[in-house]
Amino acid sequence: MHRRHNDQQRNFTRRAVILAGGQTALMGVLAARMYYLQVTEADRYALLSDENRINMRLLQPTRGVIVDRFGVPLAINRQNYRVLITSENTPDIEQTLESLGYIIPISADDRTRILRDIAKRKNFVPVTIREFLEWEEVAKIEVNAPDLPGISIDVGQRRFYPDGVSAAHVLGYVASVSPHDLTGDPLLETPGFRIGRSGLEKKYDLALRGRAGASQFEVNAVGRVIRELERKEGQVGQELVLTLDIELQRLAAEKLGEESGAVVLIDVQTGALLALTSTPSFDPNAFAEGIKSAQWQDLMDNERAPLRDKTIAGEFPPASTFKMVVALAALEAGVIDSETEFFCSGSLRLGDGLFHCWKRQGHGRVKLVRGIRESCDVYFYEVSRRVGIDRIAAMARRFGLGAKFDVDLPSERPGLIPTKAWKQAVIGEPWVTGETLIAAIGQGYVLSTPLQLAIMTARIANGKKALRPFLTRDRAEDATLVARTNDDLPDLGINQRDLDIVRQGMIEVVTHKSGTARRAAIGVEGMEMAGKSGTAQVRRITMAERRTGIIKNDQRPWRDRDHALFVAYAPLEKPRYAVAVVVEHGGGGSKVAAPIARDLLREAQIRDPAASAPGTTTAARGSSATVDS
């Protein structure tokens, strides 16, 4: 009995020792693990703890403003009032939205989108109901706040274009970021961020965008914001200063009115673009706020192409405005001089073809200055036969035709100046003389943009430098800017006597009693302009129409009407401004386009933006009301 008791005691003691040893080993393992976590890995877990407790949020920077040459704002930022809903503070989301719908309109599509966003997010994260609220709408919501649980007003920024349509093609617009725009920049993924989509907004998007700021804030275990710990504001985007004079830009848009067309006004001495207007236009604010599908479809369906910038992307036959180039090519080649005379009977026969002059009864005996003044087609048919298409093309390129100038706007087109080699390479056929005759009056294959026509005219007026256009500038460095854009440019290499002959023809277009644009003369001494009209046919006139009488332009369908063109410079002494006007399917150049050019050149000389110091007010520079028409 005693022995059995001793055996049991020994077994108990052994088990107790084993159990105690196991407990000691387990405690040792736990102690070692705690030491590892609390001492060895202390820094790592402290960092993880901070990351769980502190979050970072990007702050959208303020987009840089765009101003005209005198600092007038063209693209600015305004407060964007948004109404938000936080589902955890809303007992009944559907009922709250219903109540809010009596105060501000909420479409069925918006309601669906709101409920979808709420379902995807945590219940304490606000969801945007509507942006771009008017102040009256904000006030109504605030007044009714007690009856709208979970509803709050948030204030952000939105892009705003004060002049709307008048400079839309130049400025472009901003719009929401789409998936294919994402580059890894986290700023692009912030809610409501917008980027440049067209025009200067697109070209200078990165500079205008600025740099994001950051907010460091404390959150609890479920991600709710407790307090902001640190805030670093972003860097405002750069200011973009243009060469445009917005007053002249507005005037050009006003004069074009509902017509489809373009106006380009340029400084003859520097190449600074003072007006770059395309009509019809569009409202860039609609794109900045999110254009509706119906609005977009209306723009796309409009046959007058309001989204196309016709100043740089509209390619038109230059018509008779091209005759100065033909004249200069012939003078330089020595095939004519100012006294060379041809007889115009109203048409010229070449082989089996009959090439008509715009004046059915003809002009009689014509010399060069009169040929330009009265725009005699037969005279230039004869000239072109003698000089040839390749020499005409070479002269055209010296005056900026058939070239792109990279004026910071997308979609610029080069136009077309044909040659014998071009036709053989592109069409696979040899050039024929009849095509030279058609090219001589700016028809056939020849195409140009309004920008190119303005540059051509400015180079004729300047006579020395192959100036290039530019659209952006630094108001603080005007003298440097002029030197950069004028002194380093190649000389045109044109004989001064030849230029004087052509200029005399352009002067008489407006000042002579038989000039094609005499009715569009500027009636102010010292402000007179020289110019050249053009009327470009868009369809061939048949012999039957010629025999029975040509149908009047305004009686044809819009797309079959002639284009109206006019180019001009002023003043006659020391020219400073040149303009090109194209009215698409507008009719006669001297009747429709010339008065627009006259009004722009007169106002440009009154305002004289090229001579005014940046920052000068409109009142100080003068107004058209001070001069008689």
Q: Is 505 within 8 Å of 383 (Cβ atoms)?
A: no
The 8-class DSSP code of residue 190 comes to: S
Integer Cα distance of 594 and 565 in angstroms: 8
DSSP run (H or E) holding 129: strand 127-130
Could you give the 3-state DSSP secondary structure of residue 545? Answer: helix
Q: Is 377 within 8 Å of 441 (Cβ atoms)?
A: yes
Interior angle at CA 267, CA 266 and CA 269, nearest 5 = 140
Nearest Cα residue to 579 out of 525, 533, 548, 513: 533
β-strands 240-241, 66-67: how paired?
Answer: parallel
Q: Is 240 within 8 Å of 73 (Cβ atoms)?
A: no
Q: Is 389 within 8 Å of 445 (Cβ atoms)?
A: no
The 8-class DSSP code of residue 537 comes to: -
- Which residues are CB-neighbours of 607 under 8 A, at least 6 positions away? 245, 247, 248, 618, 621, 622
- Which residues are CB-neighbours of 490 under 8 A, at least 6 positions away? 465, 466
Amino acid, res. 69 = R
Q: Is 355 within 8 Å of 380 (Cβ atoms)?
A: no
Integer Cα distance of 625 and 180 in angstroms: 52
Interior angle at CA 324, CA 323 and CA 327, nearest 5 = 85
Alpha-carbon separation of residue 24 from 12, 34, 244, 368 (angstroms): 18, 15, 87, 117
- Given the residues 320, 375, 384, 590, select the one marked as catalytic: 320
The answer to whether 624 is a known catalytic residue is: no
Integer Cα distance of 587 and 562 in angstroms: 5
Q: Is 532 within 8 Å of 567 (Cβ atoms)?
A: yes
Integer Cα distance of 284 and 289 in angstroms: 9
Instruction: For residue 188, count CB atoms less than 10 angstroms from its CB and return exposed for 0-12, middle for 13-18, buried for 19 or more.
Output: middle
One DSSP character per residue, 460-528 reads HHH-SB----B-B--GGGHHHHHHHHHTTSPB----HHHHHHHHHHHHHHHHSTT-TTGGG---STT--
| CA dihedral sign of residues 214, 219, 222, 224 | negative
Furthest-apart CA atoms within the chain: distance in Å: 156
Please list the active-site residues.
320
